[in-house]
Amino acid sequence: MKQTPQLEMNINNLRQRYIGNGTQILGNAPIIISSSVIMTDNNTVSITAQVKDEDGDAIARVWAVLIYENLQLDPTGRPITALPSCELEPTAEEGYFESTQCTLDREGHYEVVIYALDSSNTVSKPMVKNISVGQGFKYKAVIIAAGSEKTHLRYPQFIQSATQVYNTLQYQGYKPDDIYYMANVSIDDIETKTADLFNVEGALTTWIEDNTRELVIYLVGLGDQQSLTLNDTESLRFGQLKKGLDTLQQRISGRVIVVYEGPHSGNLLPALKKPPVGKERIVISSTGINDEGYQLMGFSDLFWQEIFKGIYVLNAFYRTENALSPLSQFPQLDDNGDGIYDYYDGETSRYHIGIGIGRAGLPPELNVHDNVQLRYQEGRLQVLLPTLLTDEVYYFGVQLPDGDLLILTEALKSDQGGLQGRFVPFQGIETMPIWEGKDEMAIDIKADSPIPKGEYRFYGYRHKAGTALNEFSFNPQQLSQTVFDFR
């Protein structure tokens, strides 16, 4: 067979051009001759690899990457930046490396991918082994979206926040059967139970198995200094929750983390203090004992984004705390059991929820989100709109403290000449004007501007471009709300 390759060269200096970055690989890569992956006691896996380098270069590193079967794809397109891994150390026998510290503590199937690196920074071809874990430790979660549409107009936001947590836990390896989701409304594609005392008791007793290594509890809703309102007739008293957790932690070996999103949520820390001896309990609240400066869902939107990226709980908390402090909202964390947040806390919460899969964040100017975002920067209150797809238009409204709803078409800004911007009063869905702003900054005003004090609601709605907006095409699930209490 005669084959004649062809080349069309219309580029100068083609001999000096490279595909990629032009990194030259000198010599041969190390070779993984053989490997073994064997389960030992306590779900610890022993990994052994025999490595050879034909060029005689020293082997600088051998490691294994652990890929769990339940790895979830990220709908926003953010790349995975890290997977759980473990290092293999040299043994007494030349060319052999071993690790006995890798833990596969979840029931299911894994790929164990082994790599070797030599002193010339050349990486071997990976060797892949498969292994299954039978009765591994359990990772459980209880999500309670408390209240109802009758008890609070913002209940859809509670559901939105709870569902964000549900999805985050799935990304980090939780299976749907291991998430007990309580809500007083049905949710598409998610099995839920009614948010009532009967189901709360059942979740904390018979549903959670003895071999649970990690239990995450997420509470979102309204209440008072001593309880969370579950529904029209029932409340979960913090004393009840403590009694249930104390009993539960007597029989499970793993840690418990409780996150409460809601006003007055700081009262949960002293209520859940002093777990059983030798047990770990982390309690996180979205605000302090009093709720000055509280932004509805402001904490959870930020905190769970960080957990989604595989960030340690403590680091996720610190980042969220720093973002909210300019708005006078002060989240709390207690992980040493004394019921208060102080400089003694932070040791137990240096771990990641779930598998700890690292996912890349996006820079602020490219951040993809559904809700409008609030930012306090250099003495200015700023409201940023989400990034739109090319086939979408956007509607943006602001409800004032007196109840008036304004639909903005251009950015509202304050300068020496006062407030400037374009907006019209809301008169109906069919007559709403489309947002025509040229960038994502919808509001940019000085914090000391002469504007009324009180609660502001920011509404955003995505709609397919070229499609008429009316009562038939309007989809309430596309409507987002962000609340800000300006004091």
Give CA–CA dist 348/353, Å, rounded.
12
Q: Which amino acid, 281?
A: R
**Residue 333 forms beta bridges with which residues?**
284
How high is the mean pLDDT of the chain?
83
User: In the 8-state DSSP scheme, what is residue 409?
Assistant: S
Q: What is the share, in percent, of the chain residues with pLDDT greater than 70?
A: 82
DSSP helix/strand/coil, 75:
coil
Asked if pLDDT for residue 219 goes beyond 90, the answer is yes
Mean pLDDT (whole number) for 135-140: 78
Of the pLDDT bands very low, low, confident and very high (cuts 50, 70, 90), residue 152 is confident
pLDDT on residue 398: 87
Q: Which amino acid, 229?
A: T
pLDDT on residue 198: 97
Q: What is the share, in percent, of the chain residues with pLDDT greater than 90?
A: 36
More confident site: 32 or 444: 32
pLDDT on residue 274: 95
Asked if pLDDT for residue 428 goes beyond 80, the answer is yes
pLDDT on residue 431: 87
pLDDT on residue 101: 74
Asked if pLDDT for residue 473 goes beyond 90, the answer is no
- Domain(s) of CATH 2.60.40.10: residues in the chain: 31-133
Low-confidence winner among 59-68, 137-146, 368-377 (lowest mean pLDDT): 368-377
Mean pLDDT (whole number) for 447-476: 77
pLDDT on residue 368: 36
Mean pLDDT (whole number) for 230-243: 96
- Domain(s) of CATH 3.40.50.1460: residues in the chain: 138-359
Tokens 């209150």 locate to 381
The secondary structure element, H or E, covering residue 242 is helix 238-249
pLDDT on residue 441: 80
Give CA–CA dist 262/29, Å, rounded.
55
pTM value is: 0.61
pLDDT on residue 278: 92
Asked if pLDDT for residue 403 goes beyond 50, the answer is yes
What is the distance, to the nearest Å, from the Cα of residue 461 to the centroid of all Cα atoms in its chain?
Answer: 23
Asked if pLDDT for residue 364 goes beyond 50, the answer is no
pLDDT on residue 333: 96
Question: Which pairs count as long-range contacts for 267-272, CB under 8 Å and 24+ apart, including other chains?
Answer: 267/225, 267/226, 267/238, 268/219, 268/238, 269/332, 269/334, 269/339, 269/340, 269/341, 270/339, 270/340, 271/226, 271/238, 271/239, 271/241, 271/242, 271/339, 272/238, 272/241, 272/242, 272/245, 272/334, 272/339
pLDDT on residue 52: 92
Backbone angles phi, psi at 398, to 5 degrees: -125, 125
Give CA–CA dist 390/412, Å, rounded.
24
Do residues 392 and 465 touch, judged by C-beta distance below 8 A? yes
Mean pLDDT (whole number) for 253-276: 94
Asked if pLDDT for residue 78 goes beyond 60, the answer is no
Low-confidence winner among 147-156, 249-258, 355-364 (lowest mean pLDDT): 355-364
pLDDT on residue 450: 65
User: DSSP letters of 253-290?
Assistant: -SEEEEEEESTTGGGHHHHT-SPSTT--EEEEESS-SS
pLDDT on residue 110: 82
> Any idea which architecture 138-359 has in CATH?
3-Layer(aba) Sandwich (3.40)
pLDDT on residue 366: 32
Class at the top of the CATH hierarchy for domain 31-133:
mainly beta
425 closest CA partner among 442, 440, 405: 405
Rounded to 10 deg, the angle between the 298-308 and 313-324 helix axes is 150
